[in-house]
Amino acid sequence: MQRLYNQIVAAIRHRFFTDSGISKKHREMFSKSEIETYLFQVNEELIQMDVKGELYIYGGSVMCLVYSARPSTKDVDAIFEPSNIIRRAISNVAVINGINENWLNDGVKGYVVHHPREILFNWSNLNVYVPDPDYLLAMKTLAARIDGTDKEDIQFLIKELSISTPDEVFEVLEKYYPRKQIKPATQFFVEELFE
């Protein structure tokens, strides 16, 4: 009962009173420390449920957490198991912190193929994994939105991997995705990065 009371009070505080006076629910960006805190809270929820889970994160959250390549991201793209239970934990964390319920979502699952990964956080009830940088580059390049943070993320990963030509980027792409999935717009985009 005390735990429920604390959650309700926390939700009210976070929903209506933030440092800027604006509810977090209406703010769309999450910092590195916020993402880590919310992920740890998912672990705490799983402890309460007596469940162990796995979470694989992608996209901007990896750029924040692993590379500090950007200060924030709008959400956490992930795949997680057991999905229904972790979805409930994610929802509880959203309520506690007064943030959007989709702060962590699995919309990315249709685009992920088998790839190497490494563990980022090994907590008591939740293991959080991230992809190797070459897979992240392939994934981001294939889905690239030419304007915005995707371009900056891709440029960062190209430097991180010491890639010096467009052909090397295409080699990484084709390591994971069939050539027929690589659109002409993607090819032009990659070539322009090296001009």
What pLDDT, in 10s, does the model give residues 62-111? 999 999 999 999 999 999 999 999 999 999 999 999 999 999 999 999 88
Within this chain, do residues 110 and 171 fall inside the same structural domain, yes or no? no
Residues 71 and 143 in one domain: no
Same domain, 94 and 157: no
Are 96 and 142 within one domain?
no
Query: Nearest-CA neighbor of 125 among 45, 33, 57?
Result: 45
What's the one-letter identity of residue 71? P
Between strands 126-131 and 117-122, the pairing is: antiparallel
- Dist. CA 78–CA 105, nearest whole Å: 6
Q: What is the pLDDT of residue 2?
A: 45
Residue 185's domain comprises 136-193
Same domain, 121 and 63: yes
Mean pLDDT of 176-180: 91
Total of domains in the chain: 2
Q: What global pTM score does this model have?
A: 0.82
Mean pLDDT of 4-22: 41
- Across the range 178-187, mean pLDDT stands at 89
Q: Are the C-beta atoms of residues 194 and 165 closer than 8 Å to each other?
A: yes
What pLDDT, on the 0 to 100 scale, is given for residue 150? 86
72-73 vs 126-131, strand pairing mode: unpaired
Q: Do 63 and 146 belong together in one domain?
A: no
CB 61 within 8 A of CB 139: no
